[in-house]
Structure 1
């Protein structure tokens, strides 16, 4: 492909799936089967059970058991169907938090920036806190120190019970803290939290009555970091790490241990957006049966029925014979893996010699949508974003976008020297060309000794991104 100077922007910040990877034919067949069988069509077009379509929950329980290999099979009562991970994040906050009692919402930083508005809408705009990452995915000692300090302050202030939620709700509880994380192939940092850190984080959550909400939406999108041949890449059909919600089932007696209330301290928030298509607006969450019952009892579902009743029936049909599952392994993993390896190769050849750094470079299994890049010392991401857009017509996301509002003063929670690139939207040629253009910009800025400066078009870029979404 010929990239002239006026070629349309190489959009390495867009985190949508490429149109070629949307399962139009599979969904067409599945929808036809649903709508031409009245015994399926009529229930699919009604309100639906609060927990969601039983058939989809059964298929998910089976697939998740095969993929994560927990000690005991995952049962349907641990799963509720949602309107997607973002919609369900709002539901989780609605049911299990109270801004007058829940002390803080903690984010592993850098964090997925569009989650901020969801959490602000739940009343926590002034209660955001950042937890820095380390090489294992989270600086657990920093977190222990800070959550202890916050909890001691809440006790001194006499914060003892919720003011905005009924104390007696047998289907739910209000947690003292919320922790939001993307432990596997994180958005935006692309890091994976180690097993040791997952266990340590859960232990802290149990000590301080915290709910860990994990966006596990990228778990199935995994592949080898290096291959001998792109034509002989084996599918990765097992998770290489347990989720925190899996660890919560068993660690030190699990959620049913002596003294525990049965709700658990972790929920896995997942979506079909990354493994099927975002427009379906369908996802699921997994936790203890008691916790999931609380999710299903949220008022909007109790009144309106499951938020994704029709789409979930189509997806149940797509999973009936394993078609959707096979497509993840046979289409998505190879396609995204090839994109990733092409982009990484270009980064290693063109950007690393200029001083750009990558996180966790020793992993055998990688995945997700994103690659996090730390720029050469002294170079600001905002200045690079401006120059890349103006000079080379390439668009990337600057690191400050992913800082936690109100808590970016710590050296490890400020990301002005970082950028995020995405390999999901553009074709391989455009990804490689985008990296070439970034290399040109970085080299030019270094030659000019002009690596900082005002971000004169940042607002324009961000507004265009908002319009695009």
Structure 2
């Protein structure tokens, strides 16, 4: 019996959004941990941690964010920061404290979306209220979102009160939740402009929405042109939390929460993240039941990260290891796509080439198969079955709770795929793209 081609090829996974283990800063983690155990107060560090996290780490993160983003609204202060068990935990805790299944009218997710966030919303009791919003050339479609928010608000009793009360420990409940990844989005790779961010904040204020933005990829950024030095990357696009507090008319609670994580820049297993928002909202985050019971949900790991951040080891790791490595991989992948896939009608969504001034980053890019003779699902199936290549097909990025999500995606993201460059080395990435080209040719016969 002749073996299938796939049985002779080593598996390549371009779907998983994980950093390569060799990039984990093991020496730096070891040094930080060793330094902690040499401290005379190590026994204190092994106790329950403060609900909002170590004050030293909160301050170190605030300083790091201030240095990184240079927000026009002023420095980030520690009162704006709380420590979490990672971005997923940050989202879950925010929903526990600031949403109410009987009062919150909708969760609005950009489509294509990070589909693994959906179960977190369902666990918060918001199943049946999770809706998709199309993504345009500049992030979430704000006209569509505004119209849908207005429709829902008009059929909602304006006198309705949350079941979660102030007296019960819930000082603020939002009418809507908007979930997006505004910079180097997962899965599309897109980044919202500053003007669109301002418009989104104004919409959120009008409709009493909390915009939860996963800001987990922002610091992984580089010039798209390989002829430009890394130092030419320029200023960050202001985060939504900075736009919110810099726009006239902001409230004490605000309408944004920045959800950060060290999973992508230290290691996923470190299980430490942070949230940033207005001080009133952050203070309330410290009253989430599980946190009150057990203290900071990532206490010991968080003080390891504190050592790495305060010593400069983490910033050095990002600048000297992660960014150069990911940039080289991104360049190898995009060049291979243009060489092997573009002649077949494939395109990188939002591709402007490696022109001067363009910024790339994050973990992902999105391919469109719309101009191919074969469908996206067929291409993905043949790639896996015949070429032992796993890609993330567009169908998994719909909003499963919204029946109209896949209908809207029929002409766009459903006939595409997300690819990740963070896991594989350059030579493997190029091999994967060549296999994908063969799969497309096979699917088109």
TM-score with structure 1 setting the length: 0.89
Partner of 1:147: 149
Matched with 1:367 is: 361
Kept in 2: contact 1:107–1:180 (CA 8 A): yes
For 1:42-73, what per-residue CA distance to the aligned partner results, in whole angstroms no more than 9, with x for missing partners?
A: 23211111110111111111110011111211
Change (3 A) 1:250 1:169: farther
Cα distance change of structure 1 residues 127 and 239 upon mapping to structure 2, 3 Å threshold: farther
Q: Say whether 1:385 aligns with 2:362.
A: no
Shift of the alpha carbon at 1:412?
Answer: 3.9
Aligned match of 2:84 in 76, 82, 85?
Answer: 82
CA contact (8 A) 2:370 2:416 kept: no
| 1:34 paired residue among 20, 33, 36 | 36
CA distance in 2, matches of 1:135, 1:418: 16
Per-residue CA deviation, residues 130-166 of structure 1 (Å, 9 max, x unaligned), is: 11111111211111111100111113xx661112x12
Within 2, Cα distance between the matches of 1:223 and 1:408? Answer: 38
Residue 241 (str. 1) matches residue 237 (str. 2): yes
Paired with 1:6 and 1:87, the residues of 2 have a C-alpha distance of: 41
Structure 1 residues 73, 238: CA separation in 2 closer, same or farther (over 3 Å shift)? Answer: farther
> Would you say how many aligned residue pairs link Structure 1 and Structure 2?
432
1:192 equivalenced with 2:191 (yes/no): yes
Given that 1:78 and 1:286 are in contact with CA atoms closer than 8 Å, whether structure 2 keeps it comes out as yes
| Kept in 2: contact 1:69–1:238 (CA 8 A) | no
Q: Residues 328 and 137 from structure 1, CA distance in 2 versus in 1: closer, same or farther, beyond 3 angstroms?
A: same
Residue equivalent to 2:174: 175
Inter-CA distance 5–348: structure 2 relative to 1 (3 Å threshold): farther
Tell me if the contact between 2:6 and 2:386 (Cα under 8 Å) persists in the aligned partners. Answer: no
Unaligned runs of 5+ in 2: none
Distance 2:58 2:389 in 1: 42
Alignment partner, residue 64 of structure 1: 65
Matches of 2:198 and 2:409, distance apart in 1 = 23
Over 3 Å counting, the alpha-carbon distance change for 1:159 and 1:404 in structure 2 is: farther
Match of 1:218 in 2: 217
Q: CA deviation at 1:238?
A: 6.0
Does residue 54 (structure 1) correspond to residue 55 (structure 2)? The answer is yes
CA contact (8 A) 2:265 2:322 kept: yes
In the TM superposition, what whole-angstrom CA distance separates every residue of 1:189-229 from its partner, at most 9, and x where no partner exists?
A: 11111111111111000000000000000001111111128
Residue of structure 1 in register with 2:113 after alignment? 111
Which residue does the alignment assign to 2:25? 23
User: Is contact 1:171-1:293 (8 Å) kept?
Assistant: no
Aligned-residue offset at 1:239: 4.7
Residue 405 of structure 1 deviates from its aligned partner by 1.3
Deviation of 1:314 after TM superposition, in Å, equals 0.6
The 1-side partners of 2:268 and 2:44 are apart by 23
Check conservation: 1:382, 1:398, Cα contact below 8 A. Answer: yes
Aligned twin of 1:435: 433
Is residue 333 of structure 2 the alignment partner of residue 343 of structure 1? Answer: yes
Q: Distance in 1 between matches of 2:381 and 2:259?
A: 35
Q: Distance in 2 between matches of 1:296 and 1:236?
A: 39
| 1:235 CA drift (Å) | 4.6
Distance in structure 1 (CA, Å) of the matches to 2:377 and 2:109: 22
SS of the equivalent of 1:416 reads helix
Q: CA–CA distance in 1 between the matches of 2:216 and 2:68? A: 14
SS in 2 for 1:105: strand
Native 8 Å contact 2:86 2:273 kept in 1: yes
* SS of equivalent to 2:156: helix
Q: What per-residue deviation string (whole Å, max 9, x for no partner) do you get for residues 412-436 of structure 1? A: 4443201111111111111110000
Aligned 8 A contact 2:329 2:425 in 1:
yes
1: CA distance, partners of 2:198 / 2:374: 36
Q: CA deviation at 1:381?
A: 1.9
Give the root-mean-square deviation of aligned CA atoms.
1.8
Using structure 2 for the length normalisation, give the TM-score.
0.93
What stretches of structure 1 of length at least 5 have no aligned partner? 449-469
Query: Secondary structure at the residue paired with 1:242?
Result: coil
